[in-house]
């Protein structure tokens, strides 16, 4: 089993350390066309499927101890596994447990009178895996049970359940599918709703599928993707009822290979956000036409970039629509087999979480992961989100920094440490705040 001791508040990616049996991130070679072309690139795995209603400005406030378990995928949608398995006939079971302890110096994300508190978190996860020739199926659970010594009202229990499959029909045709359920809370400071005595709790059920046709080296290939999600709030309904939403996402992509390791892609995507409150004016349709390129320029450099037009139409004339440029891109540079630099950028509107017609977000982030030797690794994270509120005069900038280290103490045991800072500035008085968190980690797998 895994053990971990942690203390944190940082980008969610810092919640994960590298288990002894996991290939170091610096040595993982990904093909952007396969791993980052779809909107599910940030979305297949529970954080993506259930994060369909989470905007970049909300993600920037998510403390690492509030995130779930490991959610990056080795296939299309099935869950990643860590450590050695327990075997029951054809079923392989991978258990993991993280125990955390740390300090958050501004739990509520307020500009004054913030609460500085220690916390303890327990994050169990388990993946059951079945393989059948070229097909793979997983059932997974990620839990997060966190308690604060200075604010018991903010204690939470998070649950993520998912059943997923990757089916390979031929060398040309593949299908990934996922059905999931989540119970979660909005991180403090991540929305524009009035601060409540307890964090806003919600649950969501999701379905997703991604079908791809075309051999990897073919001149042309295509993908069709669909996601459905129903999100409902469970408390503070006087302010959260307007956040209940049914989401439907449909996308199609065509890849045309122009060089052995370079493809041009064309994408059409539509996202329908149907808000359930009868008086809500937030229901809208988001349509995107994108053109882009995926490349593996050298053995060390891979990337994907898409740019195009986005039209966000609200059903109600009470809100202004958006029509303009959008983009999303990722670049991975591996100057050494044990060192990786990831650059990410995006620009797109997100739905209002309390004020304004919508929020236009521009996001840039950088991560440097380095494996110093077989046992010691580090990560440096920096990011900024610029948020421009439409319909009101409000702009804000959120900056995130984190530094973490991890040491493989035993084959099955990792120890680590992390420091992180979030700083939000705004032209509206009372909206700015800063938050500092320190994290220690101890994680083990079978």
Model confidence at 68, pLDDT cuts 50, 70, 90, reads low
* Least reliable range by pLDDT among 79-83, 116-120, 378-382: 79-83
Looking only at the bridges linking them, the beta strands covering 376-390 and 117-132 are unpaired
* Nearest alpha carbon to residue 60 among 399, 426, 433: 399
Q: Tell me, what DSSP letter sits at residue 311?
A: E
In this structure, are residues 291 and 266 in contact, taking their beta carbons and an 8 Å threshold?
A: yes
β-bridge mates for residue 179, sequence order: 163, 207
Q: How sure is the predictor about 20, in pLDDT bands with cuts at 50, 70 and 90?
A: very low
- Asked if the model's pLDDT at residue 301 lies above 70, the reply is yes
What's this model's pTM, rounded to 2 decimal places?
0.84
pLDDT tier, 73 (very low <50, low <70, confident <90, very high otherwise)? very low
Nearest-angstrom CA–CA distance, 110 and 48: 27
Element (H, E) at 233: strand 220-233
Task: Specify the pairing of strand 156-168 against strand 262-275.
Answer: unpaired
What is the average per-residue pLDDT within 271-288? 96
Residue 29 clears pLDDT 70, i.e. is over it: no
- Condensed to tens digits (0 to 9), the pLDDT of residues 345-360 reads 999 999 999 899 999 9
pLDDT for 284 beyond 90: yes
pLDDT, tens digit (0-9, with 9 covering 90-100), for 335-389:
999 999 999 999 999 999 989 999 999 999 999 999 999 999 999 999 999 999 9
Nearest to 436 by CA among 182, 102, 161: 102
CA distance linking residue 332 with residue 46, whole number of Å? 23
What is the pLDDT, as a whole number, of residue 56?
60
Q: What is the mean pLDDT of residues 27-46?
A: 31
Mean model confidence pLDDT for the chain: 84
Spatial contact of 358 and 322, defined as CB atoms under 8 Å apart: yes
**Rounded CA gap, 272 and 275, in Å?**
10
DSSP H helical ranges for 171-285: 237-240
Q: What is the pLDDT of residue 25?
A: 29
What is the pLDDT at residue 57?
60
Which residues lie across from 289 on neighbouring strands? 268, 309
The DSSP result for 88-129, as a single string, is ETTEEEEEEEEEEEEEES-TT--SSSPPPEEEEEEEEEEEEE
| Tokens read off for 302 | 């891979």
Q: For residues 228 and 247, what is the distance between their CA atoms, to the nearest angstrom?
A: 6
Cα dihedral: 252, 79, 147, 151 (round 10): -10
Q: DSSP letter string over 154-170?
A: G-EEEEEEEEEEEEE-S
Question: What angle is formed at CA 68 by the lines to CA 67 and CA 72, rounded to 5 degrees?
Answer: 105
* pLDDT, average across residues 193-215: 94
Instruction: Give the tens place of pLDDT for each residue, 134-171.
Output: 899 999 999 999 999 999 999 999 999 999 999 999 99
Q: How confident is the model at residue 123 (pLDDT cuts 50, 70, 90)?
A: confident
What is the residue extent of each domain of the chain? 12-445
Answer yes or no: are the C-beta atoms of 424 and 189 closer than 8 Å.
yes
Domain range 12-445, its CATH number among 1.10.357, 3.30.950, 1.10.1330, 2.40.160:
2.40.160
3-class secondary-structure state, position 152: helix
Q: What is the pLDDT of residue 58?
A: 61
Q: Hey, what's the torsion of the CAs at 48, 277, 199, 107, to 10 degrees?
A: 70
pLDDT at 295 over 60: yes
Residue 246's DSSP bridge partners are: 230, 274
- What does the pLDDT read at residue 21? 31
**pLDDT at position 65:** 73
d(CA 81, CA 87) in angstroms, rounded, equals 13
Q: What is the reported pLDDT for 386?
A: 96
Write the pLDDT tens digit of every residue in 38-64: 333 233 233 333 344 456 666 666 777
pLDDT number for residue 100: 83
Contact, 417 vs 439, CB < 8 A? yes
Output the pLDDT for position 189: 82
């Amino acid at each position: 089993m895994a053990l971990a001791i942690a203390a944190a508040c940082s980008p969610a990616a810092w919640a994960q350390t590298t288990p002894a049996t996991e290939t170091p991130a610096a040595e993982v070679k990904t093909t952007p066309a396969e791993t980052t072309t779809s909107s599910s690139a940030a979305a297949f795995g529970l954080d993506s499927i259930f994060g369909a209603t989470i905007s970049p400005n909300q993600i920037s406030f998510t403390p690492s101890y509030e995130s779930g378990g490991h959610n990056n995928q080795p296939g299309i949608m099935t869950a990643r596994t860590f450590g050695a398995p327990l075997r029951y006939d054809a079923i392989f079971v991978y258990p993991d447990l993280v125990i955390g302890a740390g300090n958050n110096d501004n739990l509520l994300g307020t500009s004054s009178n913030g609460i500085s508190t220690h916390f303890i978190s327990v994050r169990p996860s388990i993946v059951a895996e079945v393989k059948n020739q070229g097909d793979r199926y997983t059932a997974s659970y990620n839990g997060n049970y966190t308690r604060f010594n200075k604010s018991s009202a903010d204690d939470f229990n998070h649950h993520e359940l998912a059943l997923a499959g990757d089916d390979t029909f031929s060398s040309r045709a593949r299908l990934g599918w996922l059905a999931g359920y989540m119970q979660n809370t909005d991180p403090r400071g991540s929305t524009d709703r009035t601060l409540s005595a307890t964090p806003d709790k919600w649950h969501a059920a999701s379905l997703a599928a991604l079908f791809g046709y075309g051999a990897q080296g073919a001149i042309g290939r295509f993908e069709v993707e669909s996601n459905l999600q129903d999100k409902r709030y469970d408390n503070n309904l006087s302010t959260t009822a307007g956040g209940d939403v049914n989401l439907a996402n449909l996308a199609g992509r065509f890849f045309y290979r122009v060089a052995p390791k370079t493809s041009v892609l064309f994408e059409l995507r539509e996202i329908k956000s149907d808000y359930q409150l009868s008086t809500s004016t937030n229901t809208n349709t988001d349509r995107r036409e994108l053109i882009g390129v995926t490349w593996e320029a050298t053995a060390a450099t891979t990337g994907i970039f898409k740019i195009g037009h986005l039209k966000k139409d609200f059903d109600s004339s009470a809100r202004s629509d958006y029509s303009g440029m959008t983009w999303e891109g990722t670049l991975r540079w591996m100057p050494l087999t044990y060192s990786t630099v990831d650059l990410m950028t995006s620009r797109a509107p997100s739905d209002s979480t309390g004020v304004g017609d919508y929020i236009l977000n521009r996001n840039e982030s950088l991560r440097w992961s380095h494996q110093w030797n077989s046992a010691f690794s580090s990560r440096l994270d920096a990011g900024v989100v610029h948020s421009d509120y439409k319909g009101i005069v409000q702009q804000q900038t959120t900056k995130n920094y984190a530094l973490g280290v991890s040491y493989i103490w035993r084959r099955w045991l990792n120890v680590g440490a992390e420091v992180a800072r979030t700083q939000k500035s705004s032209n509206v008085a009372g909206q700015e705040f800063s938050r500092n968190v320190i994290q220690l980690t101890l994680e083990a797998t079978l």
